[in-house]
Amino acid sequence: MTLTVPLVLTFSASDPTSGAGLQADVLTIAALGAHPLTVLTGLTAQNTVGVKRFEACTLGWIDDQLQTLLDDGVKPSAIKTGVLGSPAAVAAVLKAKALWPSVPLVVDPVRASGRGDAFGGQALFDCVRNELFPVVDLLTPNWPEAQAFTGATTVDEAGARLLQMGCKAVLLKGEHLDAGEVVNRLYVADQKVLEFPCERLPGQYHGSGCTLASACAVGLGQGLNVREAVELGLEYTWQALNYGFAVGQGQLIPDRMHLMQHLGEEDDEFDEE
């Protein structure tokens, strides 16, 4: 018997700590039972404190990576993007979406690191907004990203504008909003806004956005609808953050393997009761 494993194609930059970027995508996708396919879009020299250097991959390198997958007859079940870094990477994502129009595309519109280190200029972000947003199935911005792309002054205004820009669904993350708990909001055209509140954890985390977008992509690749995929992504990510650990002097790393490492702990607690 041959087991069919969903394939999730991710376009993102590297991270030496494996806390964010391509490595974080790979860990998340594998932990949730899918197989990662990767196109490296850039190199970073970064750690849990900040980014020292970023260099985008050339057009040739990006195209060659994607072409080798195409030559091998690969077809993903979902596509996810993180740091793109250049119009060449945007063009590669658009090419992939054109080849597989029915494959869901999840875009984490990363503009900067958690410390504020930029991963591109305004021209790149205009390219993402004008060319990529119209083919996005699920966009996962935080509030600063949503505000930067839309100029909105309220969360609902930002969600509405992002839908108007072509995104089919928008999960606007609430961790940067001033509230006691984190409220994530899902916007889908012509549907009621869905709110997903969760406890605000005390730490600062490196790669939480990568984790969430990748988990949502796995869910969509497994055939879940957007609400189900978002619920899966949010629950998985919250638990990964809850079990976060330190590898350096800065932000904590989400424990993306928590489903295996802490398997049985709830059962043990139940047995003790």
pLDDT digits (tens, 9 = 90+) for 119-161: 778 889 999 999 999 999 999 999 999 999 999 999 999 999 9
Count of other CB atoms within 10 angstroms of residue 271: 8
- Helix 143-150 to helix 155-164 angle (10° resolution) is 60
Write the DSSP symbol of residue 205. Answer: B
Q: pTM for this structure? A: 0.92
Q: What are phi and psi of 173, to 5 degrees?
A: -75, 145
- Mean pLDDT value across residues 166-180: 89
Summarised one tens digit per residue, pLDDT across range 23-33 is 999 999 999 99
Domain-wise residue ranges, the chain: 7-272
Joined tokens for residue 46: 């970064």
Q: Which CATH superfamily is domain 7-272 in?
A: Ribokinase (3.40.1190.20)
DSSP H helices, the chain, are 21-31, 59-71, 87-99, 122-127, 143-150, 155-164, 208-221, 226-242, 258-261, 265-272
Name the residue type at position 133: F
